[in-house]
Amino acid sequence: MPRISEKGRLMPASPIRKLVPFAEEAKRKGRKIYHLNIGQPDLATPAIMMDAIHNNSLEVVGYSHSAGNESYRRKLARYYQDLDIDVDHNQIMITTGGSEAILFAFMSCLDPGDEIIVPEPFYANYNGFAVAAGVKIMPVTSYIDDGFALPPVGEFEKLLTSRTRGVIICNPNNPTGYLYSREEVEQLGDLIRKHDLYLFSDEVYREFCYDGSCHFSAMQIKNAEQNVILIDSVSKRYSACGVRIGALVTKNMDVLNTAIKFAQARLSPPTFGQIAGEAALDSPPQYFEQVQQEYVDRRDLMVTMLNNIEGVFCPLPKGAFYTTARLPVDDADKFSQWLLSDFHYENETVMLAPASGFYSTPGLGKDEVRIAYVLKKDDLEKAIVCLEKALEIYPGRKT
């Protein structure tokens, strides 16, 4: 029998989706599952996006420019300019989701065997992109008791080797909901300038910053224009995960021109996704005001309920729509599986994402889970009640 590739063997399975077979079996038993495991918002995609898809005048669905439609890139540049991110359309490449932007960025900037530093816990698919590009992830640990604040820059410098080429952050953070402050981002700016590194800044949750906090983009770091690559996406911003449209933005034209060669090999980003993404930029400010308030209400409900459960600790997330919570369990992976295979409360249960899959350091996250507060408040409340009832009888509960 022919063997599979070493890269295929090393490619990690998604920790977010690995419990799907247990969820499917629970559903076959007639149980209702509250999905807190995946960042799929339940809010309606803006009507302006749907109308653009339904009412376009295309007679042929053809290829676009490999960098994306110029009209979309020009409009996107104005969006960034309004955020005090000074770019033009020639510094933007439209990608098939933010995922492709990260992969193309890695392959354009890093050689196989190079190393990239990332604060953990981190978005688990960075592992997959690193394997695909032949890159080694070097984790620097942030801690739940500090609310997952950025580790001191000195901790990054301890990891520097002759193969270190960059740092990647997600701001606001998935899976923790932590919002890096301007001071923290500028500290990273000092690091990348000092050691001439790339900073890959995943900012797909930019619009979701709470309690009066403001987002500071890595693209706003002074004197680092050639070092910063911005990763963006419409998926979460507009509750449109399936349109698969993202962007790679940089002032480093060597990087962009290299990324476009990879983009040419895949021909073009999705036509209808670009149509929807371009239309989304005309969403009124009230859309984000309403969405923000909804997520704040959900966050406050969830954090309050979780912290009222004996033995549970949940820091207050300042952005995105995730939190990483600590549970009084022996093993969050076992507990999350048990919730689906062995537990129900009034024929309902909850699906979580064990946090171990968001850490690179073995043994970390063993008693933590990521929770996505993407359900309406009534369902979120019922889900947390299920979790509380489960913790009361879980055989592996820690005292």
- Write out pLDDT tens, residues 275-299: 999 999 999 989 999 999 999 999 9
From residue 70, alpha-carbon distances to 130, 231, 243, 326 in Å are 30, 18, 18, 46
Which runs of E-coded beta strand occur in the chain?
A: 32-35, 92-95, 115-120, 136-141, 164-170, 198-202, 228-233, 246-249, 322-326, 348-351, 353-354, 368-372
Percent of the chain residues past pLDDT 90, beyond the cut: 97
Confidence (pLDDT) at 14: 81
pTM of the model: 0.96
The pLDDT of residue 15 is above 80: no
Per-domain residue ranges of the chain: 6-44+286-393, 48-280
Question: Has residue 160 got a pLDDT over 80?
Answer: yes
Q: How confident is the model at residue 266 (pLDDT cuts 50, 70, 90)?
A: very high
Query: What span, in angstroms and rounded, lies between the C-alpha atoms of 69 and 292?
Result: 29
Q: Say yes or no to pLDDT of 114 above 80.
A: yes
Q: Kindly give, in sequence order, each residue whose CB lies less than 8 Å from that of residue 298, ignoring residues fewer than 6 positions away.
A: 321, 373, 375, 376, 377, 380
Q: What would the pLDDT profile of 147-159 be if each residue is shown by its tens digit?
A: 999 999 999 999 9
The pLDDT assigned to 130 comes to: 97
Query: Domain 6-44+286-393 is of which CATH architecture?
Result: Alpha-Beta Complex (3.90)
Domain range 48-280, CATH class: alpha beta
Residue 86, phi-psi category: left (phi > 0), alpha (psi -120 to 50), beta (remainder):
beta
Longest CA span, the chain: 65
Q: What is the pLDDT of residue 184?
A: 98
Cα 316–chain centre separation: 18
Q: Mind listing the pLDDT tens digit for each residue in 36-75?
A: 999 999 999 999 999 999 999 899 999 999 999 999 999 9
10 Å CB burial of residue 68 (0-12, 13-18, 19+) is: buried
Q: Is 240 in contact with 45 (CB distance < 8 Å)?
A: yes
Q: For all residues of the chain together, what is the average pLDDT?
A: 96
Cα 195 to chain centroid, rounded: 26
| Residue 110 reports pLDDT greater than 80 | yes
Q: Which of 198, 208, 271, 272 is nearest to 238 (CA)?
A: 208
**pLDDT higher than threshold 90 for residue 399:** no
Contacts of 378 (CB under 8 A, 6+ apart): none
- What is the band of 121 on the pLDDT scale with cuts at 50, 70, 90? very high
Q: Residue 211 has what pLDDT?
A: 96
pLDDT at 98 over 90: yes
Helices (H), ranges, 209-252: none
Q: Tell me whether domains 6-44+286-393 and 48-280 share a fold.
A: no
